[in-house]
Amino acid sequence: MSRSCQVFSGQSWTAPDTGTVVAAALRSLVARWCDILRSPMRVGLLASGVGVLIATARLLVAAHGHAGDFVVAGRYFANPKLVPHGVRVFPGTGYDGQFFYRIALDPADFARRAFGVRIDSSYRFQRIGYPVLGWLGSLGGHPSMVPWSLIVVNLIAVGVAGFAAAVLASQAGRHPAWGLLMVGFFGFPFSLSRDTAEIVTAGFTLIGIVALRGRRYVLAAAALSAAVLTRETVVLIVFAYGIVRIVAIVRRKASPGAPDLAWVVPGVAFVGWQAVVTAFSSTPAVSDLSANLSIPFVAMVRAVSHWVAALPATAADLWVEQAVVLIFVVIVAATGLRRSSARSYERLAFVLLAVLSVSLAYGIWGGQADFRSFSELYVFAVLVAIEVRQRRHLWVIAAPVALAWLPVVVHQVAFI
């Protein structure tokens, strides 16, 4: 067994003299799984497998066998008489998955009302990556297949993200299984359960980072272009890489060339798609900024005050737990930033994402037990932490993340 495997499986600590057969069996089981997960591909398959278990449980328990319930369409935006058969419309406003579902039915239709669903803002159209994959998977937007396709796309994406995360963990001298921590964000079960784009974004982004590190710049450009067209916040990651490249060129430590494809191409793709959406609707970036940004820390403090005052209650318990763990993970990554061997653009991206996160509007911070919007921040926090050369550094993060993850999964399985 490799040394990294021994560290991961816990063989670096000494068992009590009164160790039991159960303890020995547990250590043997962990060691076996450690060996099995030495391959990044197997880590990716395990990540997808866990996703399949969560999706199946939700389908059977909360959705009663109806994949259309993952859309969580609400009467405020969806007309039950006009929505395609198979998608149940619930009272209230519903959730963001209804907009991804609507676009997946026909990504080329920019009408604010179509297929019985009203789009609330033009910035929904800028997040085209996930719906296009759902459209492709449903053989061109076949109404009965779209709900299933959106679920399957997310399940494939979590496997891709798990594979890429395992590769990054290996490059950091860690056991590949530590990649599971990177894709173990407690917001991802929420995304999977409600047909939103964060998991797909993570898959594209992490493949882009792996490609960048491997100097496969065409692949990096393609993956990061897909990422910025899936969630606009990835622009900050591309921007961080571009800034580092420009500074290196100005200082004559690098020359313009193939590495610049990884920020120029995604930048052009983002601006170009913004122009397309603007031609048919209004400028999505403008509506996005006005709806989702506020003065730094104001919305965050207000949300903390609201949810702490609401304790004890299920929603408040979930929110406070996730907020504490997310902030803790970010603090651990920030304190290790100087000691991290992460690439300079990765560390800069983490800082920019942290600044963005504290500047998000109350509608995001105050969402009911929903931290999916902080997925990029979490992923890059773990990426930075993985590169810190301390044996037990990641265990400090892993334990609270696991504690936050399990209640979220149970809640998503049990309730629409």
Looking at residue 19, its pLDDT comes to 58
d(CA 196, CA 190): 8
Domain that residue 27 falls in: 1-36
Looking at the fold, whether 138 and 19 belong to one and the same domain comes out as: no
d(CA 8, CA 41): 18
Looking at residue 13, its pLDDT comes to 46
Looking at the fold, whether 94 and 241 belong to one and the same domain comes out as: yes
Between CA 11 and CA 16, with CA 15 as vertex, the angle to 5 degrees is 175
The answer for residues whose C-beta is within 8 angstroms of residue 403's C-beta and 6 or more apart is: 321, 325
Looking at the fold, whether 32 and 98 belong to one and the same domain comes out as: no
Q: Which two tokens stand for residue 328?
A: 């803790």
Looking at the fold, whether 381 and 395 belong to one and the same domain comes out as: yes
Looking at the fold, whether 64 and 20 belong to one and the same domain comes out as: no
The answer to whether 169 and 354 have CB atoms below 8 angstroms apart is no
Q: Residue 79 burial by CB count (10 A; 0-12/13-18/19+): exposed, middle or buried?
A: middle
Looking at residue 390, its pLDDT comes to 78
Looking at the fold, whether 29 and 87 belong to one and the same domain comes out as: no
Residue type present at position 62: A
Looking at residue 367, its pLDDT comes to 83
Looking at the fold, whether 118 and 28 belong to one and the same domain comes out as: no
Looking at the fold, whether 351 and 262 belong to one and the same domain comes out as: yes
118's enclosing H/E stretch is strand 117-118
The answer to whether 120 and 77 have CB atoms below 8 angstroms apart is yes
Looking at residue 192, its pLDDT comes to 97
How many structural domains comprise the chain? 2
Q: Which two tokens stand for residue 359?
A: 């500047």
Q: What does the DSSP 8-state code read for residue 179?
A: H
Report residue 156 CA to chain centroid gap.
Answer: 13
Over the chain (416 residues), what is each successive 10-residue block's mean pLDDT? 49 53 74 86 97 98 97 97 96 96 97 96 95 98 98 98 98 95 96 98 98 98 98 98 98 96 98 95 84 93 96 93 96 95 97 97 86 96 93 87 94 93
Looking at residue 11, its pLDDT comes to 45
Looking at the fold, whether 181 and 307 belong to one and the same domain comes out as: yes
Looking at residue 14, its pLDDT comes to 52
- b or e along 154-166 (b: 16 or more beta carbons within 10 Å of the residue's beta carbon)? bbbbbbbbbbbbb
Q: Which two tokens stand for residue 243?
A: 């800034």
Helix (H, G, I), strand (E, B) or coil at 85: coil
The answer to whether 40 and 159 have CB atoms below 8 angstroms apart is no
Looking at the fold, whether 103 and 213 belong to one and the same domain comes out as: yes
pTM: 0.93
Looking at the fold, whether 48 and 128 belong to one and the same domain comes out as: yes
d(CA 82, CA 55): 27
d(CA 244, CA 352): 13
Looking at the fold, whether 156 and 202 belong to one and the same domain comes out as: yes
d(CA 33, CA 38): 9
